[in-house]
Amino acid sequence: MVKVIQKNDKELYQCEECGFHYAEKEWAEKCEAWCQEHKSCNIEITAHAEENKKYDSKI
Ligand SMILES: [Zn+2]
């Protein structure tokens, strides 16, 4: 199940398999479904994670 986390007055959704956080529940669900099936991450999905968005904005 995707976890809902409150952070800085906004909700984030966490994939319980890999631990990435998403602003959209849809992406978290896609990520979790992929992670469970493939036991690895799909970089096209994790690119939407908050962790990777922050990283992009720094460049
Ligand atoms: Zn995942």
Please state, as a whole number, how many other Cβ atoms lie within 10 Å of the Cβ of residue 14: 21
Matching residue, tokens 């800085």: 8
Give the Cα separation of 7 and 45 in Å (integer).
Answer: 21
User: Side chain identity at 30, as an amino acid letter?
Assistant: K
Ligand 1 centroid – CA 47 distance (Å): 11
Distance CA 46, CA 31 (A): 7
Q: Of 21, 19, 20, whose CA–CA distance to 10 is shortest?
A: 21
Give distance in angstroms: CA of 58 to centre of ligand 1.
23
Q: How far is the CA of 6 from the centre of ligand 1 (A)?
A: 18
From ligand 1's centre to the CA of 4, what distance in Å? Answer: 14
**pLDDT tens-digit readout, 4-58:** 999 889 899 999 999 999 999 999 999 999 999 999 999 999 999 999 986 555 5
* Separation of CA 9 and ligand 1 centre (Å): 23
Which residue range is the domain that position 49 belongs to? 3-58
Which pTM value belongs to this model?
0.84
3-state secondary structure of 31: helix
| Number of domains forming the structure of the chain | 1
